Chain A
Amino acid sequence: MIRNLYTRLVLIVIVAALAIWVDVNDEIRLYNPFNNETVLFERSIAPRLGLDLQGGLQVLLEPDVAEGTDVDAADLETARTIIENRTNALGVSENLIQVAGGTRIVGDFPGAEDTDAILDIIQQTGVLEFVDTGDFAPDEGTLLQTDFAGGSANGTTVAATPLPTTESPTETPATPAPAADPSQPQTVYHTIMTGKDLRSVNVGVDQGGKPAIDFVLSSEGATIFAQHTAANSGRYLAIILDKRVISAPRINEPIPGGQGQISGNFTAESANTLAVQLRYGSLPVPLKVVETRIIGPTLGEDSLQKSLVAGLIGMIIVILFMGIYYRLPGLVADVSILFYAAIAFAIFKYFHFTLTLPGIAGFLLSTGAALDANILIFERLKEELRNGRNLTQAVDQGWTRAWSSIRDSNLATIITSVILYWFGSTFGATIVKGFSLTLALGVAISLFTAIYVTRTLLTIALRNFKPKNLQAWFGI
């Protein structure tokens, strides 16, 4: 029995040490103990602050389709990826773009300062251009500079190519500037026409029976295309989307009537993807912004400090109360509450939970639930002592009898947390989600600490130190 008890104590101490290790570091790294060089395990665990704590932008997007139209989940996922790529190119860190509730896309940009730029880039549909690359056949995915300015204000390409500008003071008078723009050493290609002139795009088959793309142009586009293809037979015409090459077919023959075909090594799937891109710009479904929330950085910082102070004050008062009112068991409960806080915070950090204001509130409430479990037990323990049982019996009975109410009551809280979480995730309400998640997890962890940790510690304390004056030590 004793051995068992001390094994438990060792286990508790190990878990506590691990938790504190995770709590105080922003990055954890385990070296191979044999050579001290190879890294066995590495994970960045810097705390993630929500929008309400550090400021930033949250956007909720909805497919811009007629009501009742079903949107394909795969399309929504593609749109999500595209938006993620676009916004990442702006250099905003910690973006989080998620599909919410299967029908919406929610984007979180904590710490974002230029919110207008992000909103712009999200809302544009993507610019499709047909570019003359001459004899050069660019690979898929290559970034090209073009002379079409209309849509390039989006900034994707500019941000994506951090040009190592050679604008040092030495070059200014000496070089007579051979290129038109010294800060753009890349070739600038000519845009023949843009996606606006595409009337329809469909997947068809080429003469060899392989999948190909059939397209029809507007009358204006047809004229331009006819002239260009007649003059440039055998050269390449790259199709680029947001300045990135998606396909670079060769002009095989002049296309006079405004109807043409792109053939190549397409599979049915890749042909379809390209057709979709040609049809809708970059997004497989048109999206509209239905909700934006912007929180200035000052408000966020202010809230963070104040709520941390508030939480600390509350915890100190509660810890004092437990010690004074319940004496020895109260002190043990205080230790296990600190243990609980360390574990909970470590879990939040390790699994990258976003810390929000309501999240802090949820954490405090779950601390209350953890204490409630202890209070239920201690009240029961005191009752048993008053009924004349000896200490060991009373401790035993306290735990056994209080268990059913602790279990049933906490389950009720977990049930409502789950419903809250469901409500929050359908609308990308990260704030509601954060609250319910911390509350539910907190309640679950608190059950463990109240039952397991408090009991082990109290039993050990009572074994090594046999209190004679029960009145003083238990506050009966």
Chain B
Amino acid sequence: MIDILSKRYLYFAFSLLVIIPGLILLGARGLPLSIDFTGGSLLEVRFEGGTPLTNAELIQLFENAGIDDVQVQTTESGTFQIRSSVLDIETRGLILDEMKAESGGEVTVIREDSVGPSIGAAVTSRAALAVGLAALAVIIYITFAFRKVPNAFRYGACAIIAMVHDVAVVFSIVGFGAILFDWQIDSLFLTALLTVIGFSVQDKVVVFDRIRENSSVLRRLEYETLVNHSIVQTLQRSINTQLMTVEFLLLSLALFGGITLQEFAVILLVGLFSGTYSSIFIAAPILVLWEKQEWKTWFRRGATA
């Protein structure tokens, strides 16, 4: 039988290698929060018929209307995304008219979002509450579901640690995505994040359930061997469910699903993969580490090295 658990510190190092660079990027550049959280306006337009305005001209046009915090981006499909503070209806109409006049053609509004600052703040606090509630619900639920196993609380705690790992991986990916593809943290991102949390827990439960079953059947085995056994027994299922089905569905969505869903699908793809990875390589190893109380030897090992 494959010995997965013995190399556990290698997996921890690998995870840190994935997580830390992205988080550093995020820390250095700040969270790319969308107007869903900060409040503001996003106007995406396409110029048809006339000469499209340049970014500088667009910014000038907004400044004339008294809006001076404008950022303009051109997208792959040739549209312009203009971000600014909240536009009221009159200013918005004025600006659109100006655009039409200056370009000499039609201006089509592809998409327009406008979020007041108060609502942005309310969404942020509610989102934090939602994530916190989800974590709490999970730890209670697992402790309850595993109440007949010794140290049931550890399973819940390990699921949470692995969940934090998955959330960190997702944020790290966003750190890179923000630079490469101009990703933003919006309410859809939050949806993806909560889904990752949900499925991450679902995956832990499957592995833990096998440990629960084995611990009554194979009582004589050492804990580490027992956990390793359980991982190997569920390995095929983890690969088939995650790689062959869920990831295929999401990959298809990311590749062919259109620009609106791309960020969402990629985050789910990475997040759900991380969720499966962390069941095997983070949550289960930490269970063993906890059982053996390995932290007591960390210092000694450091001293002898």
Asked if B244 is an interface residue, CB under 8 A from chain A, the answer is yes
- Contacting pair B249 A368 (CB below 8 A): yes
Residues of B within 8 A of A431 (CB): 187-188, 191
Q: Which of B178-228 contact A (CB under 8 A)?
A: 187-188, 190-191, 194-195, 197-199, 201-203, 205-206, 209-210, 212-213
Q: Mark B242-265, 1 if CB is under 8 A from A, else 0.
A: 001110111111011110110011
Asked if A253 is an interface residue, CB under 8 A from chain B, the answer is no
Asked if B233 is an interface residue, CB under 8 A from chain A, the answer is yes
Asked if A81 is an interface residue, CB under 8 A from chain B, the answer is no
- Contacting pair A427 B206 (CB below 8 A): no
Q: Mark A298-323, 1 if CB is under 8 A from B, else 0.
A: 11001100110111011101100110
- Contacting pair A303 B258 (CB below 8 A): yes
Q: Find the B residue at minimum CB distance from A316.
A: B252
Residues of A within 8 A of B145 (CB): 408, 411
Asked if A116 is an interface residue, CB under 8 A from chain B, the answer is yes
Q: Find the B residue at minimum CB distance from A368.
A: B246
Known contacts A303-B258, A314-B248, A413 near B122 by CB under 8 Å = no
Alpha-carbon gap, A439 to B188, bound state (A): 14
Known contacts A415-B138, A417-B198, A310 near B123 by CB under 8 Å = no
Stretch at the interface among A84-92, A191-199, A233-241, A287-295: A287-295
- B123, B138, B191, B237: the one contacting A427 at CB < 8 Å is B123
Q: Find the A residue at minimum CB distance from B114.
A: A292
Asked if A131 is an interface residue, CB under 8 A from chain B, the answer is no
Stretch at the interface among A157-165, A272-280, A357-365, A446-454: A357-365
Residues of A within 8 A of B134 (CB): 415-416, 419
Residues of A within 8 A of B264 (CB): 358, 361
- Contacting pair B116 A290 (CB below 8 A): yes
- Contacting pair A358 B126 (CB below 8 A): no
Residues of B within 8 A of A314 (CB): 248-253
Q: Find the A residue at minimum CB distance from B119.
A: A290
Stretch at the interface among B11-19, B26-34, B103-111: B103-111
- Contacting pair A413 B198 (CB below 8 A): yes
Asked if B127 is an interface residue, CB under 8 A from chain A, the answer is yes
- B108, B113, B116: the one contacting A293 at CB < 8 Å is B113
- Contacting pair B195 A439 (CB below 8 A): yes
Asked if A389 is an interface residue, CB under 8 A from chain B, the answer is no
- Contacting pair B245 A318 (CB below 8 A): yes
Alpha-carbon gap, A383 to B236, bound state (A): 11
Q: Give the interface residue-count category, chain A.
A: 35 or more
Alpha-carbon gap, A432 to B236, bound state (A): 33
Alpha-carbon gap, A314 to B260, bound state (A): 18
- Contacting pair A292 B199 (CB below 8 A): no
Alpha-carbon gap, A367 to B247, bound state (A): 12
- The dominant DSSP class at the B interface is helix
- State the Cβ distance, A454 to closest chain B Cβ, in Å: 15
Asked if A409 is an interface residue, CB under 8 A from chain B, the answer is yes
Alpha-carbon gap, A21 to B112, bound state (A): 38
Q: Give the interface residue-count category, chain B.
A: 35 or more
Known contacts A302-B258, A307-B261, A423-B127, A365 near B205 by CB under 8 Å = no
Asked if A29 is an interface residue, CB under 8 A from chain B, the answer is no
Asked if A412 is an interface residue, CB under 8 A from chain B, the answer is yes
Alpha-carbon gap, A358 to B127, bound state (A): 18
- Contacting pair B248 A52 (CB below 8 A): no
Q: Find the A residue at minimum CB distance from B79.
A: A299
Residues of B within 8 A of A292 (CB): 112-114
- Contacting pair A291 B205 (CB below 8 A): no
Known contacts A296-B108, A306-B257, A432-B191, A313 near B252 by CB under 8 Å = yes
Alpha-carbon gap, A412 to B115, bound state (A): 33
Alpha-carbon gap, A369 to B115, bound state (A): 35
Residues of B within 8 A of A309 (CB): 256
- A296, A412, A423: the one contacting B205 at CB < 8 Å is A412
- Contacting pair B137 A415 (CB below 8 A): yes
Known contacts A299-B111, A405-B205, A409-B202, A311 near B248 by CB under 8 Å = no
- Contacting pair B122 A427 (CB below 8 A): yes
Alpha-carbon gap, A409 to B201, bound state (A): 7
- Contacting pair A294 B209 (CB below 8 A): no
- Contacting pair A375 B248 (CB below 8 A): no
Known contacts A361-B265, A412-B202, A427-B119, A368 near B245 by CB under 8 Å = yes
Asked if B280 is an interface residue, CB under 8 A from chain A, the answer is no
- B127, B197, B210: the one contacting A416 at CB < 8 Å is B197
- Contacting pair A315 B249 (CB below 8 A): yes
- Contacting pair A375 B241 (CB below 8 A): yes
Alpha-carbon gap, A163 to B246, bound state (A): 56
- B113, B127, B142, B206: the one contacting A405 at CB < 8 Å is B206
Alpha-carbon gap, A435 to B256, bound state (A): 19
Q: Find the B residue at minimum CB distance from A414.
A: B198
5 CB-based A-B contacts, threshold 8 Å: A60-B119, A290-B115, A303-B260, A311-B253, A318-B249
Give chain B's interface residues, CB within 8 Å of chain A.
Answer: 89, 93, 108-116, 118-119, 122-123, 126-127, 130, 133-134, 137-138, 141-142, 145, 187-188, 190-191, 194-195, 197-199, 201-203, 205-206, 209-210, 212-213, 233-234, 236-237, 240-241, 244-246, 248-253, 255-258, 260-261, 264-265, 268
